[in-house]
Each structure stands twice: as structure tokens, then as C-alpha cells.
Amino acid sequence: MSFDLASYNRLGQAFVACNQAGQTVTLIDTSTTTGFVLSNPWGSGKKLVLMQAAFAYTTVPVARAIVFLAMSIAPSAVAHATTTAETIYGADGSGSAGRSAARVYNASTTPNLPVYSRVIGYSPTTPATAAALTQTEYIGGALILVPGSYIQTSYITTAPVGVTSMMWVEVPV
């Protein structure tokens, strides 16, 4: 069964967000995150169906790193604290109309710790391999954020610095 993203986009239910400057991605075992966090607030009445995530290095890595998507371990009614927001835009080009139930942060204190959920990519040990410095993961609805959950970029080995973007569709719970 395929997911008809264009139909949701025509209805104004598809959204995108991206860091506007390079951010250092946070290791998984902390609730104080930097990089990129997509959150579905408790009580939103929506599920966020993740379609795509990408990470692009803005600083050439000096050592290898594996970039992951990490999801909240369980939904929580507790809101994110000490947040630095990014802007969410309609994927239909309608601008930042504030229609999205989601929240996006480049810094936040999450209500619980995340778990690694999906690999986005790997940077080379020889940074001259530029092709590996932008990684896109086509998720196509395989990951869904229920109210009270979140997803963020994370890593293993060397902390990457770059921009993350995500695209999702919002559907009723």
C-alpha cells in the first residue's frame, strides 16, 4: 500500500522544518538536546506521519560519525522545557501559517530519554568524500509520532555539526 503524499499536501496537511544554521547534534543519553527535535505535543489530536529526514554536515567531520533518528521512549504529558524553536512551513508553499500541531526545536529539554530508531547515515573517516556529507532517509510513513512523543537527530562516535530537515503529514488520531 502506498502513501499518497501529494493528496495530503493539497489539503494543507504536509509540513516541513529545517535548521536555519548548523547545529551540533546531541548524543542519545541526555534529555538536554541540540540539533533538531520534532515534537507532537500531548493532546494535539494529531499523529505526525514522518515522510523524510535528512542531515547535511555544515562542518567537515574530523572523524567518523553515524547519524541516527532517535524517538522518545514513551509518550509523555510533560512538555519540552527550555526550548529554542525553529519555524514550521506548509509543504504546499503556503508559508508559516501556524496550522501545524507539531513543534520543532534546535534546543530543548525533552521529557524523557530517546532510543535509537533508524540510521540516517555515516560520515567517512576521510572527509574528502563529499558525497557522504548529505544523507537523506525516505521514511514514507514507517515512523509515526503519537501525541506526547518526539523524534530527534542523534549520533554515535563524533558529534556532527549540520542541518536537519524533516517532512511529515498530520492526520487525526
pLDDT averaged over every residue in the chain = 90
Instruction: Give CA separation, 66 vs 27, 31, 56, in Å.
Output: 11, 19, 12
**Which residue range(s) make up the domain with 142?**
5-172
Q: Write the CB contacts of 127 (distance below 8 Å, at least 6 apart in sequence).
A: 60, 61, 62, 133
Look at residue 2 in the predicted model and tell me its pLDDT. Answer: 64
Q: What is the dihedral of CA 64, 115, 90, 22, to 10 degrees?
A: -30
Look at residue 132 in the predicted model and tell me its pLDDT. Answer: 64
With a threshold of 0.75, does the pTM exceed it?
yes
Instruction: Give CA separation, 154 vs 88, 95, 123, in Å.
Output: 20, 28, 13
Domain count, the chain: 1
Per-residue pLDDT of the chain (173 residues; tens, 9 = 90+): 467 889 999 999 999 999 999 999 998 888 899 999 999 999 999 999 999 999 999 888 878 888 999 999 999 999 999 889 999 999 999 999 789 999 999 999 999 999 999 999 887 766 555 556 788 899 999 999 999 999 999 998 888 899 999 999 999 99
Look at residue 1 in the predicted model and tell me its pLDDT. Answer: 45
Look at residue 29 in the predicted model and tell me its pLDDT. Answer: 82
